[in-house]
Amino acid sequence: MKLWQPHCANGVFPCTGANRVALNPATGETRPSPWIGAVIAGSGDINNGTVFGKEIPDTFPNAGIKTAPRLGFGWDLFGNGKTAVRGGFGTSYNRLGDGQYGGFTGVTSQTVNLQWTTIDDRFNIPSLESPLNGTMVQEETRPITVHSWSVGVQHELPGRMLADVAYVGNSVRNAFAVNAGQSYTNQLNDPDPRLVANPTPDMIDRTTGNVLPTNFIRPSYPGRGAVTQRVFLDEMYRNYNAIQLEVRRRLANGFAWAANYTGSVTKVYTAYDWYRTAEDNERRNSHKNGSRPHNAKITYNVMIPGASQFLGNNVIAKGVLDGWQLSGITTLLGGPGRTSRARELRLRSSASQAPRVLTR
């Protein structure tokens, strides 16, 4: 497929205004400058290489059978039922996101422009068609893979209390959309920006002295616009590591409470520049956005003594005044550059739910 070339009608380069026209190199025909870079009608199939509708066999190749191992253990450390060590590891998979299948918009989208005409005369004016963009199917499929692991120690303390210390982590690979390790795009038909910044003589538009429009210097697929291929690379990931601490007092004498803390780090690598080295990409594109380094929570539950005992244990008084408990949750969250606190106080009865009071 051929494109209308920039040309100077008076043969003097560079040129501007009406002297700058679009040239059909095969016939010598010229048209006004808006046709520069448009497809020359009859020079080829503008839809060449495009797959329509049910012609496409399978959007993605079969990923095959995958193993999802699980391994866990528990150990009564001293044999007295007071201290336990637990741990585990597992691998799981998720389906490809809807965006993978819906990401092919633009493959068959075609816009036709008409210049200097009216609605009545639109069929008598040659149309201006620009090269189509496209999306290429990758040659492999890697399902979203999550590796998870944990190890922790629990120990019973006096006063019906339990202490728990654990390390947990997970790593996401080949994830799509919001997760790192995601499928990302490789612009197969874009010129190297380093070459555009230092163009060779054949990349210069003689009519302006500037670099030719991108469609004239695309390295592959002549007559096509930008071609995007969705691919999977091992460098992309999302890692989560956390230490969890908790002390809990089980319900006794109408009172229970728990205090826990999670210190975590989430590291994400979700972007890639094809023209940089792997080391440079890692340095530029890995980040800890969304990481919640500090998360502390205190919960408490107090069983309120029934007031009906002071009213002769009247049936109506029992239904209204007994069975109430006071519950509360206090949360302290620490993030990059900001800290928020939320506190919830709630009264409820075994017979009915009372209004909630939420303060921040």
Domain membership of residue 338 (yes or no) is: yes
Phi-psi sector, 283: left (phi>0), alpha (psi -120 to 50), beta: alpha
Q: What is the dihedral of CA 173, 175, 181, 182, to 10 degrees?
A: 160
Domain membership of residue 354 (yes or no) is: yes
Domain count within the chain: 1
Domain membership of residue 297 (yes or no) is: yes
Residue 109 is encoded by which pair of tokens? Answer: 């989208």
Phi-psi sector, 181: left (phi>0), alpha (psi -120 to 50), beta: left
Dist CA 270 CA 256 (whole Å): 43
Domain membership of residue 72 (yes or no) is: no
Which residues, listed in sequence order, are joined to residue 267 by a DSSP beta bridge? 239
pTM over 0.85: no
Helix (H) or strand (E) holding 316: helix 315-321
Domain membership of residue 163 (yes or no) is: no
The answer to whether 7 touches 23, Cβ cutoff 8 Å, is: yes
Domain membership of residue 188 (yes or no) is: no
Query: pLDDT tens, 247-303?
Result: 999 988 899 999 999 999 988 876 666 667 778 877 877 777 777 889 999 999 999
Dist CA 206 CA 246 (whole Å): 72
Domain membership of residue 302 (yes or no) is: yes
Query: pLDDT tens, 85-101?
Result: 999 999 998 766 555 55
H-state helical runs in 145-223: 193-197
Domain membership of residue 149 (yes or no) is: no
Beta strand residue intervals within the chain, DSSP E: 5-8, 20-23, 30-32, 70-76, 83-94, 112-113, 128-129, 134-136, 144-157, 161-173, 184-187, 227-231, 237-252, 255-269, 286-287, 294-303, 324-335, 338-349, 353-359
Dist CA 133 CA 110 (whole Å): 9
- Mean pLDDT over 13-33 rounds to 93
Cis peptide bond upstream of 14, omega within 30: yes
Dist CA 249 CA 252 (whole Å): 8
Query: pLDDT tens, 322-349?
Result: 888 999 999 998 876 443 333 444 444 3
Which residue range is the domain that position 350 belongs to?
A: 292-360
